[in-house]
Amino acid sequence: MAFPTSRLFSSRTISLGILFYSTYCHFQFVLANDVDSCESLRLGQYICKEPRIDDATQEPENCKDMIAWVECLPAPNVSCRLSNGTEFRFSGEEVGFNKSLPCRNVSGYSYKVAVALSLFLGWLGADRFYLGYPALGLLKFCTVGFCGIGSLVDFMLISMQDQSEKQLSLPSTLSCQLCRSFWDIFHLIIPTHSAH
C-alpha cells in the first residue's frame, strides 16, 4: 500500500516547521544581542591613549617583558562587558580595558660601549661591571676571563645581542621602530618629535 504524498505536507507538519523556525530565529536574535567583552570591541569602537615615552630609552615607560599596556576608552554609547563581568554603557571618558603594545626592554646602556669594553677589557670583567653585574665582573677579573674562554663567549653574546643582553643595551642610533604611528577611531596620530 502506497503512502499518500498529500499527508507529508499536512497542516500539522507545516505548523511544526514554522514553530521550529521561529524558535531558531528567536534564539539567534537573543544570542546576537548578547553583550561582548570590552576586549573584543572592533576597530572604530574604541580609542587607545598614547603610551608615555621615556626620553632616555625612547620606549614606553611601563615596558615589562617586551609588552607595554595602554588604556583604551570605548566610544560614546558603546555597551560592553567589563573584565569583572558587569555590563557598562560608556560615555567616551571611562577606561574600558587595557591593550598591549610590543616594546623593547632597554635600560639606557650604550651598545657600542658594551661591545668595546667586552672586546678590549673583557678579560678583566669591565663589560660585566658596566652592564651592572659586579659579581660576574669580579669573577671574570679573578679568573682572567675564565682563561679567555669566558671573555670570548661574553664578547659573542654582547656583539650578537643575545636575548638577555638585548634587554640591557640600547642601540646607538634611533631606528624606525621609534617612529611609531598610532591608529585610533577618528584619525591617524603621528607623534611629533621636538628638536633639541
- 114 and 165 in a single domain? The answer is yes
Q: Supply the pLDDT for residue 72.
A: 94
Q: Supply the pLDDT for residue 19.
A: 76
Half-sphere exposure of 95 (CA within 13 A, CB side): 9
Is 4 a domain residue? no
Give the mean model confidence (pLDDT) for residues 162-188.
Answer: 46
pLDDT band at 46 (very low <50, low <70, confident <90, very high): very high
pLDDT for 192 beyond 80: no
- 95 and 130 in a single domain? The answer is no
Last residue of a domain, one of 58, 89, 105: 105
pLDDT for 193 beyond 90: no
- pLDDT more than 90, % of the chain: 29
Q: Specify the pTM.
A: 0.49
Q: Which domain holds residue 89?
A: 38-105
Is 178 a domain residue? no
Q: Which residues contact 93 (CB under 8 A, 6 or more apart)?
A: 73
pLDDT in tens, 131-148: 889 999 999 999 998 888
Give the mean model confidence (pLDDT) for residues 1-12.
Answer: 59
Give the mean model confidence (pLDDT) for residues 57-76.
Answer: 88
Is 175 a domain residue? no
Q: Cβ(118)–Cβ(158) under 8 Å?
A: yes
- 126 and 147 in a single domain? The answer is yes
Last residue of a domain, one of 58, 78, 105: 105
Is 8 a domain residue? no
- List, edge to edge, every strand of the sheet that includes 97-102: 46-48, 67-74, 97-102
Is 134 a domain residue? yes
Give the mean model confidence (pLDDT) for residues 113-132.
Answer: 91
**More reliable by pLDDT, 100 or 179:** 100
Is 94 a domain residue? yes
Is 196 a domain residue? no
- 134 and 101 in a single domain? The answer is no
Is 20 a domain residue? no
- 136 and 96 in a single domain? The answer is no
**Per the structure, how many domains does the chain have?**
2
pLDDT for 112 beyond 60: yes
- 58 and 117 in a single domain? The answer is no
**More reliable by pLDDT, 189 or 126:** 126
- pLDDT more than 70, % of the chain: 70
Last residue of a domain, one of 77, 105, 133: 105
**Start-to-end C-alpha separation, the chain:** 99
pLDDT for 196 beyond 70: no
